[in-house]
Amino acid sequence: MSSSYDYDDGSYDSRAYPSSAMGGGDVGYDPNFVPDSVKTFVVHLYRHIREKNVYEIHQMYEGSFQRLSERMFRESPWPSVEAVAPYVDNDHVFCLLYREMWFRHVYARLSPTGRQRAESWDNYCSLFGVVLHGVVNMQLPNQWLWDMVDEFVYQFQSYCQYRAKLKTKTEEELQLLKQYDQAWNVYGVLNYLQALVEKSTIIEILEREKDGLEQFTATDGYDYEGGSNVLKMLGYYSMIGLLRVHCLLGDYHTGLKCLAPIDIGQQGVYTIVIGSHISTIYHYGFANLMLRRYVEAIREFNKILLYILKYKQYHQKSPQYDQILKKNEQMYALLAICLSLCPQTKLIEENVSSQLKEKYNDKMSKMQRYDEEAYAVYDELFSYACPKFITPSAPVLEEPLTNYNQDAYRLQLKLFLYEVKQQQLLAGVRNFLKLYSTISLAKLATFMEVDEATLRTILMTYKHKMHAVGSDGKSFSNSDMDFYIVDFEEMIGELDRANLD
């Protein structure tokens, strides 16, 4: 550390601070003013990074940064990177990391301007560029590397929403959209994530690990032999990032394909950081729901909801806590949808089940019916719990300007409700069949108030819808109860309870 700056080794964030410069909101914001506590912060962080002290980096990243933000930068940005650069040897990579945090803070607490959004994109390009060229030898905490990928995708999504609201844009904002037409370009976003996956050779690493030729999971992805974990972990998390981007685009098949190298049936590196764990399962479950693989979705939602139930108390102080709770609620809603379409209640753990009842008992019984109200509940829960779908194409900047930020969401909702409608008679079949081990078609038709030909189509629909096609191309059943039509030899009395299993 060559910095000549004389910092106090004490606790930088409890240090007294001249209150006049700050605290007055952005009125008094001077980007060039670097308070002592920030000097201390960057100097320490810089030193820990150079010394590869992952533990201390993590403490500063999760602890100090949040505390300083909370205390001093509630309503204004952190000092500009130019102002802090002299305290960290003008270190190029450190400055990129600092700016990444700087923008993240602006997104989280303030609202970014169009220019800041574009500048943040540039910063990610430079940062990932450096990583991809292999000149980084740092060791960073998994939490931070996850946050980078997660934030990158979040800012992309946010930008797509932002630019789609054309009606309310000022002349200047429209000008900026034209000027920065490459910012957050969808090809760019996908190709950065893809490049990180490829360049890190993470897929090969995971393959080699299966044969015992490599250690990755055992070391939580860290490198204890003097190397860097940055590219490897960014590559790993980028697979989850790609799953999320594809879900935002409505491309569930491709999303799941991107995640496939990670075996989510096992403990893995993706579960170390809770944000990564939740994001993975939320998107995995949602994609499976849209592919009609309900059992798969139910199983994974059940597991993660149980996990959150047990461990959320340990995350109360985490900056991600609100996000954890939000996703938790959304996944209960998705679980309620899955179970209404495919009642596999035996797959649900007791505690999760009682939570679910508390939250959605009424709604779930409504969804069992097949009237407009049932439909409205599906609509409500889907809208509440779905990802924030985006339209990826560039805006058409010609008059008349329209808002199209809802288009993608409306399409996914409509197609989902279409599926619900195709399945709306199946709950009825299920209820009747539960009562009988054998029954004649004629009788069942009378119960269901349809003619026999219609009944046959309903029964076939049930069979078709309760089968999903897996990623291996094979059909499998999702059903908790089943039936088959034998022949038309004779009519069997209604309560012939011959056990057929």
Question: Which residues ranging from 343 to 362 are in contact with another protein (CB under 8 A)?
Answer: 344, 346-347
Single out the segment in contact with another protein by CB under 8 A; choices: 70-78, 104-112, 266-274, 470-478.
Answer: 470-478
Single out the segment in contact with another protein by CB under 8 A; choices: 70-78, 130-138, 308-316, 409-417.
Answer: 409-417
Backbone angles phi, psi at 325, to 5 degrees: -65, -40
Residue 387 near another protein by CB under 8 A: no
- Cβ(328)–Cβ(312) below 8 Å: yes
The DSSP call for residue 64 is I
CB of 187 to another protein, least distance (A): 6
d(CA 284, CA 300): 8
User: What element of type H or E holds 468?
Assistant: strand 467-469
Identify the residue among 115, 369, 388, 463 touching another protein (CB under 8 A): 463
Identify the residue among 433, 447, 448, 450 touching another protein (CB under 8 A): 433
CB of 242 to another protein, least distance (A): 9
Those residues with Cβ within 8 angstroms of residue 319's Cβ, 6 or more apart along the chain or in another chain? 62, 66, 108
Single out the segment in contact with another protein by CB under 8 A; choices: 67-75, 189-197, 277-285, 308-316.
Answer: 189-197
Query: Helical H runs in 76-183?
Result: 81-84, 92-109, 114-132, 142-164, 171-179
CB of 37 to another protein, least distance (A): 43
Site for another protein in 25-54 (CB under 8 A): none
Identify the residue among 155, 229, 302, 479 touching another protein (CB under 8 A): 479
Single out the segment in contact with another protein by CB under 8 A; choices: 163-171, 327-335, 380-388, 411-419.
Answer: 411-419
Give bridge partners of residue 260 from the DSSP assignment: none
AA letter at 385: A
- Cβ(433)–Cβ(204) below 8 Å: no
CB of 204 to another protein, least distance (A): 15
CB of 396 to another protein, least distance (A): 9
Distances in whole angstroms, Cα of residue 116 to Cα of each of 183, 188, 388? 11, 18, 21
Backbone angles phi, psi at 229, to 5 degrees: -95, 0
Single out the segment in contact with another protein by CB under 8 A; choices: 77-85, 122-130, 270-278, 413-421.
Answer: 413-421
Number of neighbours of residue 260 by Cβ within 10 angstroms: 13
Question: Would you say 108 or 481 has its CB closer to another protein?
Answer: 481
243-262 footprint of another protein as x/- string (CB under 8 A):
------xxxxxx--x-----
Question: Would you say 228 or 391 has its CB closer to another protein?
Answer: 391
Query: Helical H runs in 260-320?
Result: 274-290, 294-311
202-241 footprint of another protein as x/- string (CB under 8 A):
----------------------------------------
Residue 266 near another protein by CB under 8 A: no
Residues in the chain: 501
Identify the residue among 419, 427, 448, 450 touching another protein (CB under 8 A): 419
CB of 164 to another protein, least distance (A): 13
Query: Helical H runs in 89-113?
Result: 92-109
Single out the segment in contact with another protein by CB under 8 A; choices: 58-66, 85-93, 376-384, 472-480.
Answer: 472-480
CB of 4 to another protein, least distance (A): 46
CB of 246 to another protein, least distance (A): 9
Residue 437 near another protein by CB under 8 A: yes
Which residue bears the tokens 């050779």?
201
Question: Would you say 1 or 411 has its CB closer to another protein?
Answer: 411
What is the C-alpha radius of gyration for the chain, rounded to an integer number of angstroms?
Answer: 27
- Cβ(472)–Cβ(485) below 8 Å: no
Single out the segment in contact with another protein by CB under 8 A; choices: 48-56, 109-117, 320-328, 451-459.
Answer: 451-459
d(CA 79, CA 466): 57
Residue 483 near another protein by CB under 8 A: yes
- Kindly state the tokens that stand for 127: 């940062």
d(CA 456, CA 431): 16
Residue 494 near another protein by CB under 8 A: no
User: What element of type H or E holds 469?
Assistant: strand 467-469
Count residues binding another protein (CB under 8 A). Answer: 77
Comparing CA positions, the residue from 278, 302, 289 lying closest to residue 247 is 289
CB of 263 to another protein, least distance (A): 16
- Kindly state the tokens that stand for 407: 């288009």
- Kindly state the tokens that stand for 146: 């996850």
Site for another protein in 132-171 (CB under 8 A): none
Site for another protein in 283-342 (CB under 8 A): 290-292, 295-296
Identify the residue among 130, 209, 392, 447 touching another protein (CB under 8 A): 392
CA angle 489, 491, 493 (to 5 degrees): 150
Which residue bears the tokens 């360049």?
199
